[in-house]
Every structure is written in C-alpha cells, then in structure tokens.
Amino acid sequence: MSRLSVPNLETDTGPSGQIYAQIKKAVGSVPNAYAAIAAHGPAALKAMVAADAVLAGGSLSKRDREIIKIVVSAAGGCDYCVAAHSHLAKLVGVKADVLKQIRDGEPTGDAKYDVLIDFVRKLAQSSGTVSDEDFAAIKAAGYSDAQLVDISLAFATIVFTNVFNRINDTDIDFAAVA
C-alpha cells in the first residue's frame, strides 16, 4: 500500500485537482504515481510534465523514450515505472518478447536499439560516468548530439519518478510484467 495519502481525485479542487483534471483529459485516468506526486508537490508534477513535453517535441522517438525509461527503471529497481513504461512501450509497438529482453539486459536483435540500451544501462549503473568507448559506440550508432541531450533529460525525469515511487511504495496500477 502506498505510504502517502492521496485526496479524492474527483472532488479535489485545489492545485492538485487542477493537475488531475489535465492528466485525466490527456490520458483518460490519473496514474497512482502522478496522483501522489500532485497531492504533495503539484509544482514537481508540473515540472515533470513540462519536461516530458520537451522530450515529446525533441529528437527521440516515443519508442526511444520508453526504452530509456524501462532500462533506467529496471536498473533502479522501480517496479512501478517498469510496469508503466512497459505498458506505454507496447502502445508504441514494442513487442512483449523485446520488452523482456530489454528488462533482462539481453540483446534485442536491433543493433541501434541495443547500443542505446547498453549506453543507458551503463549510465544507470555508473552514476552517469561514460567511457570514451561508450561515447564512441553511441555516436557510431547514429545518435546525434541533440539526441544525447534528450537521452539525458529522459534519464533525469525517470530517475525522479523512480526515487519517488521507491519512497512512496506506490501501488502499481498497470499490468504486472513477466
């Protein structure tokens, strides 16, 4: 059970309620993580949503962004974010077997994605330290300087929700991953 309380999403008319209404309009429901963040830090959720909007207009595909978020979440042990972003990745066409390979650290068979996955996993496991070889590999795979900025932003946003969900022990409201 989540550690932080969340007000009734339907009756909250304060700053959190306004954010709930925006999220519900955009995605149909308010995920538990967003509800808890907005209940106790509406400005934090607004900042996160703004960062995700920047990413949506950036140089990475939705598939790239979801893969990054799954890799970081798996490395950080955030079951909530692994489930949420696995669900979102399926919506953009990532097959279940590929998602399992990504989560398990196995090659997917797509050379460019495998370089991205390896690069992000190494970032997560090394507190952001990148070797010359890792940098050369991501550049050789065709990732641009602008994409490296967006990879960094996607990494940063998911670390925030990973840490929050670990503190809150947020109840998972997405299908469990196998």
Round the average pLDDT of the chain to a whole number and report it: 93
SS3 content of the chain, % helix, strand, coil (to 5): 70, 0, 30
Within-domain flag for 28:
yes
The reply to whether 142 and 94 lie within a common domain is yes
Within-domain flag for 130:
yes
Predicted pLDDT at 177: 84
Residues of the chain under the 50 pLDDT cut: none
Predicted pLDDT at 13: 79
Within-domain flag for 161:
yes
The reply to whether 25 and 110 lie within a common domain is no
The last residue of one of the domains, among 6, 37, 56, is: 56
| Count of the separate structural domains present in the chain | 2
Separation of alpha carbons 145 and 24, rounded Å: 34
Q: Are the C-beta atoms of 161 and 78 separated by less than 8 Å?
A: yes
Within-domain flag for 146:
yes
Domain that residue 26 falls in: 15-56
Q: Are the C-beta atoms of 165 and 33 separated by less than 8 Å?
A: yes
The reply to whether 72 and 159 lie within a common domain is yes
Predicted pLDDT at 163: 97
The reply to whether 29 and 76 lie within a common domain is no
Predicted pLDDT at 53: 93
The reply to whether 162 and 105 lie within a common domain is yes
The reply to whether 141 and 159 lie within a common domain is yes
The reply to whether 38 and 83 lie within a common domain is no
Quote the tokens at residue 46: 């607004």
Site of tokens 């990494």: 155
Predicted pLDDT at 31: 93
Predicted pLDDT at 127: 82
Predicted pLDDT at 141: 97
The reply to whether 114 and 153 lie within a common domain is yes
Q: Global pTM? A: 0.92
Site of tokens 């932003």: 153
Q: Are the C-beta atoms of 112 and 142 separated by less than 8 Å?
A: yes
Site of tokens 């042990």: 77
Quote the tokens at residue 109: 């068979």
We report the CATH number of the domain holding residue 93 as 1.20.1290.10
